[in-house]
Amino acid sequence: MAVERTLTILKPDCVRKNLIGEVTRRIQEAGFKVVAMKMTRLTKDTAGGFYAVHKGKPFYDELTDFMSSGPCVPMILEKENAISDFRKLIGATNPADADEGTVRKDFADSVGENIVHGSDSVENGKIEAAYFFAESEVVANLA
């Protein structure tokens, strides 16, 4: 299996609930290496750009309001099979449908406020990582 990178965001609800540590612990426990990390705050516009693929959908306005409602913590994670394994760790988009023991099942309040983002493909992961991080901010070879 190939080593991949995925872009996650600990969303504003994760930060508000003081779950940065717990969710990051689960991510690391599952074998993901954090190769870039920061705390930032999206604006309505930059949240809209990140989720441009969803523009026009009924939840887009609410989503961009939520994603710009407070600080968030984007990270680039590295692991074999990272894209698929990370989606398994976080669970289904709607916490009501998420498997037991997943991050969204345990911590998310709703389909909108669902604690974490995870890239859906290697290609999108690259685009999303570049949305938040310059090459110089990616510490790729931590011992």
Q: Least distance (Å) from ligand UDP to the CB of residue 106?
A: 16
Residue partners of 2: CB distance under 8 A and separation at least 6: 80, 81
Dist. CA 101–CA 42, nearest whole Å = 29
3-state secondary structure of 44: helix
For ligand UDP, the closer of residues 20 and 136 by Cβ is: 20
Q: Is 117 a catalytic residue?
A: yes
Q: Does 121 bind ligand UDP (CB under 6 A)?
A: no
Dist. CA 91–CA 106, nearest whole Å = 10
Q: Which does 59 bind (CB under 5 to 8 A by kind): Mg ion, ligand UDP, none?
A: ligand UDP
Q: Which of 38, 59, 61, 130 binds ligand UDP (CB under 6 A)?
A: 59
Of residues 102, 117, 119, 132, which has the active-site annotation? 117
Query: Of the listed pieces 35-43, 77-85, 108-116, 125-133, which binds ligand UDP according to CB under 6 A?
Result: 108-116
Q: Least distance (Å) from ligand UDP to the CB of residue 96?
A: 12
Q: Does 111 bind ligand UDP (CB under 6 A)?
A: yes
Report how far apart, in Å, the C-alpha atoms of 137 and of each of 39, 42, 71, 99, 140 are. 13, 18, 19, 34, 9
| Six token digits for residue 37 | 């990390």
Dist. CA 124–CA 80, nearest whole Å = 17
Q: Does 120 bind ligand UDP (CB under 6 A)?
A: yes
Q: Return residues touching ligand UDP (CB under 6 A).
A: 54, 59, 63, 93, 111-112, 114, 117, 120
